[in-house]
Amino acid sequence: MFRQESEPREPSAMGESLSTWTPSCNGAVRVELSGQRTTSDSGALLLREALDNSGVIEALEDNLVDRRHPLRILHSLASQLRTLVLQRAMGWIDLSDTDTLRRDPLWQLACSDARGTMPLAQDRPSQATLSRLLTCLGRNDNIDVVHEGLLRLVLWRLTS
């Protein structure tokens, strides 16, 4: 469920209290656990937390060589990397699924650099954009950076 914090809370059935969680990547978002309104992809917000804590996206963004024309790129490299990693981690392996997800509110919140409800007004990168990113990641000058990013993620996991 997505609503701004200023909206009144609905009374819960039979006096039950609903648990809420606020992801650190976007303090304007409250995740409310309710049996009536659920998305199967809510784990993307938890994975976003793990990605942010690991620092792997920032490390990749700082060290990757992106030869694409900067004026033709609408989404930050970090946002594109986050989208690609989260899609794969959530089981959306085929890039053709990208168009299904690009206007999904949860994916907009989990993958965006923006905070508050601003991501809800922004589309995610298209399938073509992510395909070009994969080509960029596979270039010889980026292979070592990708390997170091994966190693960083493994080491972070082992030490946490």
- For the stretch 104-124, pLDDT in tens is 888 888 888 877 777 777 778
Domain ranges of the chain: 41-159
3-state secondary structure of 66: coil
Coil, strand or helix: which one is 32?
Answer: strand
Token pair belonging to 74:
């609408």
Confidence (pTM):
0.72
Is residue 9 scored above 80 in pLDDT? Answer: no
